[in-house]
Structure formats: C-alpha cells, structure tokens
Chain A
Amino acid sequence: NAGVTQTPKFRVLKTGQSMTLLCAQDMNHEYMYWYRQDPGMGLRLIHYSVGEGTTAKGEVPDGYNVSRLKKQNFLLGLESAAPSQTSVYFCASSSLLANQETQYFGPGTRLLVL
C-alpha cells in the first residue's frame, strides 16, 4: 500500500514550457486535491475532485488545469509555466466516509520555473 505518490519529485522548466504532474493513490479514495505551498503563504488549494470525471476550482486555480479520468489518478497541468508557479506542489486524497475525512498527502513535487 503506497498511499499517495507523485511524479516527478523535482522539475526545472523554462518560462512558457508545459508539463503535467501526476498524482496516484491506492486507497480507493473518492476525493483528491492539488495544493501549492510557498514560503510565508501556507498551503493553498488549486483544484480538487470529488469523484472520477469531476473537478472543481480551489483558491488559486489560474494557470492550472486538472483531469480525473480514473479514480486513482489526478493530473495537474501547467500549459505555459511562469516563474510565479515556482513552488512545492502537494497532492492529497481523502475518503467520503464520515469521520474519515483526514487528507493523506503525497511527498510533493518541487517545481522551479526559470
């Protein structure tokens, strides 16, 4: 049981390049989330999904797109990377069952946009 995994662990992009971050979970969780964490800002929600085929915007969605084609995977896309998107990106998942709302986080992806 690997929990939540993220690939890649680290990436350097040039401004304008695109990339996709992959999140996978093997806990059969319905809900998945993408956060970014910046110094002095705390964790901020980018997008989230409450089930396969559904996504919704979080607090800071601009510049990002997501897809949830399979229940276990949640992809975060950057179509045209900007230096402001330099950050650590965390994926998380949680169950919809009552009293099991704990979010489990992946190890993070460190992205540097030059």
Chain B
Amino acid sequence: RKEVEQDPGPFNVPEGATVAFNCTYSNSASQSFFWYRQDCRKEPKLLMSVYSSGNEDGRFTAQLNRASQYISLLIRDSKLSDSATYLCVVTLDYGGSQGNLIFGKGTKLSVKP
C-alpha cells in the first residue's frame, strides 16, 4: 500500500464549481499535513497546512481525520487560475524537516470557462 494516495484525476470542472480532493495516508505516526500546489512545469508551492481542527483560507478549506487517516481539500467558486496539480503531503516527525516529507502523486484540476 502506498504511503500517500490521491485520485490522480483529472478533475474537469466549470468556473464557479465546488471541487473536493481526497487523500489517504498509511502511516498512523504521520504528524504534519499539507497541501501543495504545482503548476505545469513549475515547482511545488505550499498551499496550506492542515490542522486537526480543520482550517480555511479564503475559498480553500482543508480537513484532517486522524482516525480514518484521511485529508481533504475543498475549493469553492473555482477560478481558471486554480487549474494545477494539488499534492497531498504528510510528514512522520513533528517538524517535518528530517527528510521525511512524503508526497502523494497529485490530483490534476482543470477549471474550464
């Protein structure tokens, strides 16, 4: 079983739609959770961290369910500029800076006019 699994997509949605991405992780010792965004032929960039209580940043909402080892990202009112690949990322140690950042393969989103 892969450590971090995501639906590869692509998700093709119209502008203004709400879209949800799911991610599961296999290691119950995972400590920190993130969503990164990667545009075509560009480097990954942090979109948002994911906290146990859930967190929101504008149109983006991230949720974590430790019992089910499940992370989600909800994008409301999709914009054309949201088109990208979204990477689910988990770490095994609290700091996440010991080389233990585990990336999912990403879910591709395409927002159409």
Contact = CB atoms under 8 A, between A and B. Distances in A.
Interface of A: 30-31, 33, 40-45, 48, 50, 56, 58, 90, 94-96, 98, 101-103, 105-108
Contact of B42 (A102, A103, A107): A107
Interface of B: 32, 34, 42-46, 49, 87, 91, 94-99, 101, 103-106
Given A30-B97, A44-B103, 14 more contacts: A31-B98, A41-B105, A42-B104, A42-B106, A43-B87, A45-B101, A48-B99, A50-B98, A56-B99, A90-B44, A94-B97, A103-B46, A105-B45, A107-B43
Given A42-B104, A42-B105, A58-B99, A101 B44 contact: no
A77 B44 CA distance: 22
Given A31-B97, A50-B98, A94-B97, A101 B43 contact: no
Nearest to A46: B99
Contacts of A90: 43-44
22 contacts: A31-B97, A41-B105, A42-B104, A43-B44, A45-B99, A45-B101, A50-B97, A50-B98, A50-B99, A56-B99, A58-B99, A90-B44, A94-B96, A95-B97, A96-B95, A101-B96, A102-B34, A103-B97, A105-B44, A107-B42, A108-B42, A108-B43
- With most chain B CB atoms within 10 A of its CB, the pick from A45, A94, A101, A105 is A101
A78 to B, nearest CB: 20
A31 B99 CA distance: 9
Contacts of B49: 102
Contact of A33 (B32, B99, B105): B99
Contacts of A103: 46, 97, 101
B30 to A, nearest CB: 13
A31 B96 CA distance: 10
